[in-house]
Structure 1
């Protein structure tokens, strides 16, 4: 099975229209300005959190006015929502595509295949600075106040995550339903920590032992750890 790994998650800065090109019903250059605001907000929100980031800081980094930010997004929360949903929806859709590939195969899915189908779309975001900013933002979302985090998390991932719980139960038919929910939740926690540049391994491992850019080793370690946890008695 060829898993979808997030190529359509290429940062907007690499895929946006060139200045001067017009989209349907858009004035010249407006899509570029909007993406510039999203990129600046993503970096600042990921490093400083929602409360710690001001619209003034975002406007300064994007080289626009605060009025223009409000024009496009309505409010600080509206901007935060747009930043998060821009990439999280891509991840969720790719997870669904991966799961559909697994389900199209005869027989019971393997636990390792279910785990990798879930992880791979997110892993691809580590290949660019913009993608890494999003992964930090996503990890930080879990520490934001409930009125900010719950709805965004549910809107972005609620449906796809429930379908993965069902997939885990098909792969492990004797696993109780509550255990399946716990293990998928713990899988989420594991990848959020491992993929979001916590630099813990650089601090713990002897110099030269760990390469933070070795993506193959990262996905292998996380997959083996999560698969083992899924299959635990």
Structure 2
């Protein structure tokens, strides 16, 4: 890793932590440069603006996440033997893995803030860059759930995504027990969420 890449990564890591703690408006560039150990010129050089920095914080995590999701979806999409649970696993498991890797839980808080703060510019960025992923999953859900009209399907997928975001944040009532490993807890979470989501999606 060259020094330029190292500086950029350091800024992104510091920004992720600050956005998780203070929100997008609450985190100032002065706080960011102090946390990252860089000057303002370095932030401007790598990102150009705070808005672009926010977008890159998301791209760093979401590009890899959605590549993983689509790779898993490709294994099951369109096949006559595919179950609803298989598609849900392709959507849910990569996200839970991300939330338990490195500072993944911090990013989950950043993601939650993006929805809570109703940032229209950020929502448009997420839609433009990752909307195609949801379209592919929605198409497969629609194939497996022909009894649902499109509006009802969208409602149910949105609620499943909300439940997933909640599970990823680690703020729920179910906390990992001391005698359960991180991987075991993630598997338990995935199994419960897939079962719950399948029941909700397939209900008449």
TM, length-normalised to structure 2: 0.90
Q: Post-superposition shift, 1:153?
A: 2.1
Q: Post-superposition shift, 1:182?
A: 1.2
Residue 139 in structure 1 maps to residue 108 in structure 2: no
Q: Post-superposition shift, 1:172?
A: 1.4
Q: How does 1:178-189 map to 2 (within 5 A)?
A: 178-189=151-162
Alignment CA distance shift 1:144-1:217 (3 Å): same
State the match for 2:127 in structure 1. 154
Structure holding more helix per residue: 2
Q: Post-superposition shift, 1:136?
A: 1.4
Alignment CA distance shift 1:209-1:64 (3 Å): closer
Q: Post-superposition shift, 1:108?
A: 5.2
Residue 167 in structure 1 maps to residue 132 in structure 2: no
Within the candidate set 6, 20, 24, 1:46 is matched to 20
- Quick check: 1:111–1:171 contact (8 Å CA) kept in 2? yes
Within the candidate set 19, 29, 35, 1:55 is matched to 29
Provide the secondary structure at the position in 1 that maps to 2:117.
coil
Q: How many residues align structurally? A: 202
User: Over the residues paired in the alignment, what is the CA RMSD in angstroms?
Assistant: 2.1
Q: Post-superposition shift, 1:226?
A: 0.7
State the match for 1:177 in structure 2. 150
Distance 1:156 1:200 in 2: 33
Q: Post-superposition shift, 1:61?
A: 0.9
Distance 1:212 1:229 in 2: 29
Alignment CA distance shift 1:173-1:109 (3 Å): farther
Within the candidate set 94, 116, 122, 2:95 is matched to 122
- Quick check: 1:201–1:210 contact (8 Å CA) kept in 2? no
- Quick check: 1:136–1:197 contact (8 Å CA) kept in 2? no
1:58-103 deviations in Å (ceiling 9; x for gaps): 1111100122111111111111111011111211222211111112
Q: Post-superposition shift, 1:199?
A: 4.3
In structure 2, list runs of 5 or more residues that go unmatched: none
State the match for 1:30 in structure 2. 4
TM, length-normalised to structure 1: 0.80
In structure 1, list runs of 5 or more residues that go unmatched: 1-16, 23-28
